[in-house]
Structure 1
Amino acid sequence: MTDVLRYTAFSDDPAGGNPAGVVLDATGLDEAGMLRIAAELGYSETAFLTDPPEGLGGEPGRAFTVRYFSPKAEVPFCGHATVATAVALGERIGPGELVFATRAGTVPVSVTADGQGGLRAVLTSVEPHVEDVDPADLAEALAALDWPQADLDPAIPPRIAYAGARHLVLGAATRARLADLAYDFPRLEALMRRLDLTTVQLVHRAGPALFDVRDPFPVGGVVEDPATGAAAAAFGAYARELGLAPADAVLTLRQGEDMGRPGVLTVELRAGDSRVRVGGGGVRIG
């Protein structure tokens, strides 16, 4: 019988953050088996670990192949499930450096004690990039969300950002606009599948380095993701390229409050390193 662990990421409260399934030994499971477990669990993603590929690097016993499945499909990378997995491993083999081989590339993760009896994990993204959005695709996204063009924040222009998975970044002019999320699920899902998007990253700037975010996730079979590490990494790259943050910066993203599952994601940018670091706490559920 496969042992499926349940952890939440980006919170030290089991009722907060984003829950993920973690299977520390997925040896013998094929894709159908992984998808079945992810669907039965019902979380936005479940991570499945097997032995690392040859030449991955990392300390012996601290390198793994990781695959991520939503209830509907495999995804190339998932930030919150990475953090949840790293915390689960840290509890068993101790804090330190981990290396994950994912479909998106190699992802190093550092696990440290948080000083309060818990653990914190920081992942380093693959090489990110940002691209323009076709005006027709933007119009379709806004129609699916039922957002008038006037509700967009011109200081946060629409872009598609990637740091392991693709996300459409849209800026909300007001916190009230961000809070009011009632979208056309099939219509947005169809657009996202055509553009190969994992989530739509809806953003409201609450301060110079503070953002409130929400992430519709219909392609994963859920209305909304409570705390999205991959989107946070992509947004970090976006914020740097668009001038919303300096080359050296630490951004705080609050997510999940509108769902009743508050979480906090820390996004770190470093001058001279294009990769983005995303960190947060994690704790076992039940």
Structure 2
Amino acid sequence: MAGALGFLGVPAGMQAAAAEGWRPTRPVTLVVPFAGGSATDAVARIIAQLMSEAFGGIPVVVDNRAGANGVIGAQLVARAEPDGHTLLVTTNTTHSANPALLRRLDYDPVADFAPVARIGDVPFMLTVGRNSPFHTAHALLDAARERPGQMSYASGNSTGIVAGATMARQAGIEMLHVPYRSTPPAMTDAMSGRVDCMFVDIAAGLGNVRGGQLRVLALSTAAPSPLLPGVPPLAEAGDLPGFDLISWSGVFAPARTPALLIATLNRVIRGAIEQPEAQARFAEIGYSVLSGTPGDLGRFVRRQLDVWRDLVDAAGIEKE
């Protein structure tokens, strides 16, 4: 992917921001707690290239540590040395939803991390395989009502889990939840018809939609997406008023990372994602770029913990 991103030059201002503050002394690792091919992986690889250029060519590598709903990767960074060389590129899965979904969580999303920078948001799509008999969300939900407990939805992350359970609860249907280690294998089974449907983020699923392997029935957000003209929100397409779910992503360092390091990393990452060329690349994969200070991200995470707890409770999901 790096070769395809070679057109993204780093402005002098970004390089100056790096030079004025902390500078890594060895390769920087961006830990992604999801598999290669996930949306977070794609975003991390864009950021890694730009950070490397801003730091004068010091390598910035992506390390995929998938498993346990993102817990494995999050724990790795929480326990890393707070020296700026190990960062977590993650989503609401590890830092909003897991505390509400899991009985035991061996990290604290607030106490064990130093927020660095928010990256953006991405909507999810309700999809079925190309050979599915369902062409509308209404048809899918009506079939599930007629066959309680016989139809299934896949999930590859917490947003997929909560979106599927919320849809079932609001529609008054019973569906079998089939959890996967990450998004790519869940998509594979959705495309083949092994599971009936799946909520997948636009960034990870758009290529398969455009390739005809997945069919989109609705969006998880209240607003439509310019990337999928004509695709209605599920609130409308499934007659589920108020249905509105979106995934967010951000960068975190281990707790106790010095403020100078956090400030430099924030300037470099913000400089990267605010470039017009980078924003265009993010838009191609369905990301709405958002930025801000470390403090902004810290306050946002605290609010999102409440938001996702309420979503999980409303969906009737029991902790695992």
Do the structures match in fold with TM over 0.5? no
Q: Which has the higher strand share?
A: 1
Higher RCO (C-alpha under 8 Å, 6+ residues apart):
2
Larger Rg, first or second structure (1 or 2): 2
Q: Which has the higher helix share?
A: 2
TM-score for both structures, normalised by structure 2? 0.26
